[in-house]
Each structure stands twice: as C-alpha cells, then as structure tokens.
C-alpha cells in the first residue's frame, strides 16, 4: 500500500482542473458552450473546496437602491448569514452585502478580456451596501466596516507571449475601480495584487491549487459580511 502524499494531493487538484479546461476547449465547438463549460469547472472547484460558509454561483448582484450589477460568471458570497438570495426564471440575484468576491471565467486572457473583467468587477463594487449595528448579549457592536470585494479572472490559456509578462501587468494597471486582485491562467501560472496595488506574477507551479489557497486566505482575512438592513430592501414593496 502506497503512503499518503500531500504534494500529490495538491498537485492532483490542479491537474484535474487543467485537464477539464483543456477538454472543454478542444471538445466544444461553440464559443458560448466553451464559456459555460469553463465557468462550470471553476465554480465546481470553488464549491467543492471552499469552507461551507461560502457559496459560488453565476449571478447578478443587487443593492437596496435597486441598482444591479452586470451578470457575473462567479460570485463568491455568504451562505450562512445572508437572507434575500433570489431566484427568478433560473437567474440568481444576490444582495450586495453578501458578496465576498467576483470572478470572470474565460478560455483565454488578453487585453480585451482583462478590460472586460475589470468592467464586471467595477459593476459590483459601485453598488451600495448597508451595515447595521450587531446585537450581542451585552449590547450592540458598531456596524461592521464594509469589507473590500475581491475581483479576479480565471482562464486556461493566454494570448500573450510570454503568457504572464509585461503586457499583462500593463492591462491590469489600467483600471483601479475594477482592479483584479487575483488571477489564474491554469496552463501557465497566477497573479496577485497586494493592498498597495503591486502585482506579483508566479509562473508554473500548480496554478489552480495556488489560486484556491490564496483565495481562501484572503476570504479568512475579510471576516464575515456586514449585517444587512433588510428594511432597506423592504421599502420597494410599496412601489
């Protein structure tokens, strides 16, 4: 009987994701079908390996002022404390207060796809979020400061040569409102942005596994979502 190996377990997670993305790209002839397949692969990975307090789905995000985001390929949101998760004709709608992170999933990255992902991330970050005082046995805590919403992009390949070089950094620096904090190009590596706005590129390794572990670390740092003011949403019942 062979011994357990943590390196092999971690590598196996990435290898499975990379293989499935490659098969989707080679098998599906229609670009839309390829896109849906890629979203499914990434979403399933996050659902399977993130702590159960989080959920990952394709969704729209709405705020209490009635403003909506663009449709987001993968929204990571609170599953434990969030009310008001709506489903309408198969479309999921999530209140802005419940969102931790948003990702676009693409077959390949290039300047156009980076810009597109930044626009999608910005459409979520600009939404209004409520935060109520938090009751406890001894009184109430002050309203929780609104956590920063992480943004990112997930892909299989890169159109650039080298895949993760200066053109990627230039594209990432063009939009601060929609800044992409994390990215995984499964065939090549990952990138990450620190709080000062500096990007770090990591080539090779096991990118999908590395992305997952870094995302979980950042989610842990953000704590719990704010206490949502459900009455702010209830005001729309009078319209």
- Among left, alpha and beta (phi > 0; psi -120 to 50; other), residue 200 is beta
Question: What are the DSSP calls for 176-228, one per residue?
Answer: STT---EEEETTTEEEEE-TTS-EEEEESS-HHHHHHHHHHHHHHHH-S----
Q: Which of 57, 73, 78, 181 is catalytic?
A: 73
- Answer whether residue 24 shows pLDDT above 80: no
Each residue of 137-156: pLDDT tens digit?
Answer: 877 888 889 999 999 999 99
**pLDDT, tens digit, for every residue of 116-142?**
999 999 999 999 999 998 887 877 888
Choose the weakest-confidence range: 28-37, 97-106, 152-161, 173-182.
28-37
pLDDT of residue 82: 81
Q: Which of 106, 120, 157, 206 is catalytic?
A: 106
Q: Helices (H), strands (E): how many in the chain?
A: 6, 11
Report d(CA 52, CA 50) in Å as an integer: 6
pLDDT digits (tens, 9 = 90+) for 26-43: 776 556 666 678 888 899
181 is catalytic: no
Q: Give, as one character, the DSSP assignment of residue 52.
A: T
Summary mean pLDDT of the chain: 90
| 15 labelled catalytic | no
Residues 48-85 pLDDT 10s: 999 999 999 999 999 999 999 999 999 999 988 887 88
The conformational region for residue 189 under phi > 0 = left, psi -120 to 50 = alpha, else beta, is left
Q: Can you give the residue ranges of every domain in the chain?
A: 6-226
Residue-level pLDDT at 31: 62
**Considering 39, 57, 97, 104, which one is annotated as catalytic?**
104
**Which of the four pLDDT bands, split at 50, 70 and 90, describes residue 4?**
confident
Measured distance CA(195)–CA(157) in Å, rounded? 26
Q: Residue 194 catalytic?
A: no
> Which pLDDT does position 89 carry in this prediction?
86
**Mean pLDDT, residues 96-101:** 97
Q: Which of 114, 158, 207 is nearest to 25 (CA)?
A: 158
């Amino acid at each position: 009987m062979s011994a357990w190996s943590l390196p092999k377990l971690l590598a196996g997670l990435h290898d499975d994701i990379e293989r499935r993305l490659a098969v989707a790209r080679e098998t599906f002839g229609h670009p839309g079908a390829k896109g849906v397949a890629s979203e499914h692969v990434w979403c399933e990975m996050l659902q399977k390996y993130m702590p159960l307090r989080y959920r990952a789905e394709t969704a729209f995000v709405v705020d209490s002022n009635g403003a909506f985001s663009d449709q987001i390929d993968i929204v990571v949101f609170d599953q434990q404390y969030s009310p008001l998760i709506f489903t309408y004709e198969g479309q999921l709608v999530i209140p802005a207060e419940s969102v931790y992170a948003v990702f676009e999933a693409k077959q390949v990255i290039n300047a156009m796809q980076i810009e597109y992902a930044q626009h999608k991330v910005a459409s979520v970050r600009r939404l209004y979020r409520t935060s109520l005082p938090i009751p406890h046995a001894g009184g109430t805590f002050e309203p929780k400061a609104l956590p920063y919403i992480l943004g990112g992009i997930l892909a299989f390949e890169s159109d650039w040569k080298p895949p993760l070089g200066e053109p990627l950094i230039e594209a990432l620096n063009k939009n601060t409102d929609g800044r992409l904090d994390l990215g995984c190009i499964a065939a090549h590596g990952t990138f990450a942005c620190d709080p000062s706005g500096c990007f770090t590129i990591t080539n090779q390794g096991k990118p999908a596994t590395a992305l997952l572990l870094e995302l979980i670390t950042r989610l842990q740092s953000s704590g719990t979502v704010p206490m949502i003011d459900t009455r702010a949403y209830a005001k729309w019942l009078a319209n």
